[in-house]
């Protein structure tokens, strides 16, 4: 049974997250329906990460196991044909090698958070950026972000419903930069806790506005207390932009 490795892009706004829901639209449900329409199989796919409601992706990775050995390009074209009315696109398809697994083989996940920092609201990117009217100091935010880099107990930035066994995570990259009217936040790690990126982003925005200092972020991290976290940033500006497999 061949396993196919899909690179997937989607707009998270129409969906209640990636994970399949019994009665609600999901990215997983849309892809599985396309697989069934194409192949006649009813299957369960796996992904590198389960994004929340409203979160977008330009580099999600999904695995699909099919009974028939189809050419990878045929699979890609067929799925896209059945996803025409969905906000989901298959960007690439390859036949997986060995025991590769979309989730368990991943050793890096990369997220981008977009903040539109201007007075006027977004017209073209509504629902795809977090609109912050007050001026943000991106350099101060970047300095504060370095406090979060490394191995830490991220309980402060962990959602109460997080099912991870441990709050210990290693954050490899936390970077904040300004590009025109946007303040962009880059985060890279092997894995993340539930809503960790949005929690860190909301806290760093407090630094950008001037309400928090670098020391405040350090104290919040060291508190290991969810109530010490700043406001959680909305899902609108969050994108899963890449997954690494060491290959």
Residues taking part in catalysis: 52
The beta strand positions in 50-181, using DSSP E, are 56-65, 88-95, 108-116, 130-131, 150-153, 168-179
Give the number of other Cβ atoms within 10 Å of residue 23's Cβ. 5
Q: Are 7 and 63 in contact (CB under 8 A)?
A: no
H or E element, residue 223: helix 214-223
Tell me whether residue 94 is exposed, middle or buried, using C-beta atoms within 10 angstroms of its C-beta: 0 to 12, 13 to 18, 19 or more. Answer: middle
Q: How far apart are CA 227 and CA 246, in angstroms?
A: 36
């Amino acid at each position: 049974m061949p396993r196919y490795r899909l690179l997937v892009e989607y707009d998270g706004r129409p969906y209640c997250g990636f994970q399949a829901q019994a009665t609600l639209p999901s990215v997983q449900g849309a892809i599985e329906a396309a697989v069934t329409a194409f192949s006649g199989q009813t299957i369960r796919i796996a992904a590198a990460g389960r994004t929340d409601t409203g979160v977008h992706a330009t580099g999600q990775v999904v695995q699909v196991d099919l009974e028939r050995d189809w050419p990878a390009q045929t699979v890609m074209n067929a799925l896209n044909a059945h996803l025409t009315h969905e906000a989901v696109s298959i960007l690439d398809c390859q036949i997986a090698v060995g025991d590769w697994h979309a989730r368990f083989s991943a050793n890096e996940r990369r997220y981008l958070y977009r903040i539109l920092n201007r007075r006027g609201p977004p017209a073209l990117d509504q629902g795809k950026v977090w609109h912050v009217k007050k001026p943000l100091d991106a350099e101060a935010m970047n300095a504060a972000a370095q406090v979060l880099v490394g191995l830490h107990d991220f309980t402060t930035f962990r959602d109460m419903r997080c099912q991870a066994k441990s709050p210990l995570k290693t954050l490899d990259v936390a970077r904040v930069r300004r590009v025109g009217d946007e303040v962009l936040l880059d985060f890279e790690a092997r894995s993340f806790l539930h809503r960790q990126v949005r929690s860190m982003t909301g806290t760093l925005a407090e630094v950008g506005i001037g309400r928090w200092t670098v020391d405040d972020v350090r104290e919040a991290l060291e508190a290991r207390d969810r109530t010490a976290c700043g406001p959680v940033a909305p899902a609108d500006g969050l994108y899963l932009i890449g997954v690494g497999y060491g290959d």
